[in-house]
Amino acid sequence: MTTQTTPTHFPVLSNEVLSLLKVNPAGKYLDGTCGLGGHSEKILSKLSPEGCLIGTEIDNKAIDIAKTRLEKVGGNFHIEKCSYPNFPKILEKLNIDKVDGLLLDLGLSSLQLDSVDRGFSFMRDANLDMRFDLDSEIRANDIINRYSENELADIIYHYGEEKRSRKISKNIIKTRPINTVGELKEIIRISTPPNKRNKTMARVFQSFRIAVNDELENLKIFLKKYITYLKAGGKIIIISFHSIEDRIVKHSFKSSSDNGDLKILTKKPIMATEEEKRTNSKSKSAKLRCAIKL
């Protein structure tokens, strides 16, 4: 990838998103996790000049790429650096009270996964950074090297659902400082049996990424406020990639349904088709839930 070219990007479950949204050409839509602009591009292509696509994103590189992508489709969009739970500030600035649809895709973008210097993936060596927003201060290695054994074990257990959290955290403490992907992989290697190792690595890396970016708290904050900014008949779509996020979304939708605020349109989460899984590996763990405001 160069700065002159837009990277290939396939948004997950995009056909299902458009089918559920039923985009109103004159409507206003918020993509709270704009990323490289894949879903935003699909929505924007359905809008007339009277419609508007608003995007929020905290990765500066992703914002630049998304803007380049969307400019080829139309000019009726606004993307701003903002963490998605803070989207009301952007709507207020744009004098928008309510939107016709809200979308969150909580997965990593290909820009982040393929990064050679952020350490999101255990598949390549890099510094243990894991920040979505490179302007934020706390990196993964800060947490790994500063937190207590119990705090590390809790992160690995609660955010990664990893049963060997205590053993891994004990070995982290023994081996610190740990600053690279390779060093963390070695800790996991000596803490786990071979047949479980890759799954454990994925869980541990997930847990520290969640901790660095405060992902679960951000989702909970968003879920407490979004209904106010959704028009009656407007849709909320959230795509999650691990069971912790999916449970939070499921329980939130259920609570809002019981209160009479939402009607859930997906009794079970929508998964990618076998064809999409073959062509886009990131879609394998995606779960989409959708509801409509009453």
Angle at the Cα of 125 from the Cα atoms of 154 and 129, rounded to 5 degrees:
50
- Supply φ then ψ for residue 98, to 5 degrees: -140, 155
Q: Which CATH number fits domain 117-213: 1.10.150.170, 2.60.40.10, 1.20.1250.20, 1.10.10.10?
A: 1.10.150.170
Average pLDDT of span 1-10: 51
pLDDT value at residue 8: 59
Q: Which CATH superfamily is 14-111+216-293 part of?
A: Vaccinia Virus protein VP39 (3.40.50.150)
Of 281, 260, 263, 261, the residue nearest 272 (C-alpha): 281
Residues of the chain with CATH 3.40.50.150: 14-111+216-293
pLDDT value at residue 263: 98
Banded model confidence at residue 111, pLDDT cuts 50, 70, 90: confident
pLDDT at 116 over 50: yes
Residue 48, Ramachandran bin (φ over 0: left; ψ between -120 and 50: alpha; else beta): beta
Distances (CA, A) of 131 to 79, 128, 134, 153, 215: 20, 9, 6, 20, 11
136 and 59 in contact (C-beta within 8 Å)? no
Q: Report d(CA 8, CA 205) in Å as an integer.
A: 25
Banded model confidence at residue 110, pLDDT cuts 50, 70, 90: confident
pLDDT value at residue 7: 52
Residue 79, Ramachandran bin (φ over 0: left; ψ between -120 and 50: alpha; else beta): beta
Q: Report d(CA 134, CA 7) in Å as an integer.
A: 20
pLDDT at 2 over 70: no
Mean pLDDT, the chain, rounded, equals 95
Q: Which of 37-51, 149-163, 188-202, 230-244 has the lowest mean pLDDT?
A: 188-202
Cis peptide before 194 (omega within 30 of 0): no
Q: Report d(CA 120, CA 130) in Å as an integer.
A: 5
Residues of the chain with CATH 1.10.150.170: 117-213
